[in-house]
Each structure stands twice: as structure tokens, then as C-alpha cells.
Amino acid sequence: MGTTKTTKILRETRKPPEKALENRKLFTERQKLITNSLANGLQSIPDIAKESGLEPEVVTYVMMSMRKYGEVTEIGPDEMNEYFLYQLKPKNP
């Protein structure tokens, strides 16, 4: 544990794919926009889309991925019982 020996060996013959680097940048930007939006309190997907300027389907995909990895959690449906409300999950100390 603790070394990156074989990663370095592969890096000598293989460069990280450009597309993967771009995707990472894009995903991180979107994640940041959603996090900023959720920092203001409980939000639904359309609320976040409106505030962040992201397409709603992008918010659905990125936020559900954040939920999968424990960064976001759902609280319950809104008053109209149409959309779930989400909040940031407190980080483990």
C-alpha cells in the first residue's frame, strides 16, 4: 500500500486520454455548480437547473451520481408531490 510504482511504469508508454481529462474537468465544474446551489438549502432538480444554468437532465445525471457516492441525499417530495428535494450530506469528520 502507498506506492504508485506500476502507474508510473504505464505512464511511460501511455498518456492519459484527452477525452477522459476533459470529461473530468466538465464533471467537476458541474458538480461544483450543483454543490453551490445546494449550499443555499433544500432544492429540487428544476430549482438547481434554474439557478446553475445547467440543463435539467444534466443536473439529474450529475446529482444522482453525487447521491450514489454519498455527497447528496434526498429529504422527501415537495409540497406538490412532484419533485424530490435534495440537500448536501455532511462530510465525515
Partner 1 sequence: MKKIVEQNQAGMDESLIDYDVLVIGGGIAGDEAALKLADVGYKILIVEKDLSIGGRMILLSKVFPTLDCSACITTPKVSETARHRNISIFTKTEVKSITRRQDNFFDITILKRTRYVLETLCTGCKECEDVCPILIPDEYQYNQVARKAVFIPFSIAQPRIANIDIDNCILCGLCEKKCPSDAIDFTLVDTYEHLVVKSVVLATGFRLFNPTVLSRYGYGRYKNVMTAMEMERQLAPTRPYNSVLRPKDGKMPDNIAYLLCVGSRDQTVGNPICSQICCMYSTKQAQLLLGALPMADVTVYYLHVRAFGKGFCEFYNQALSMGVNYIKAKVASVREKENGNLILRYEDFSTGQVEEQEHDLVVLATGILANAEIESVFKGEKLELDPYEFVRQKDMLTNPAITSISGVFAAGTVTGPMDIPDTILSAGAAAAEATAYLKKLS
Q: Enumerate binding residues for partner 1 (CB under 8 A).
A: 1-11, 14, 16-17, 19-21, 23-24, 27, 44-46, 49, 56-57, 59-65, 67-68, 74, 77, 81-84
In the complex, the smallest distance separating the C-beta of residue 36 from partner 1, rounded to whole angstroms, is: 18
Nearest to residue 63, comparing CAs of 36, 81, 82?
36
**Smallest gap, in angstroms, from Cβ of residue 77 to partner 1?**
7
Q: Compute the least distance from the CB of residue 75 to partner 1, in Å.
A: 10
- Residues 33 and 22: their CA atoms lie apart, in Å, by 17
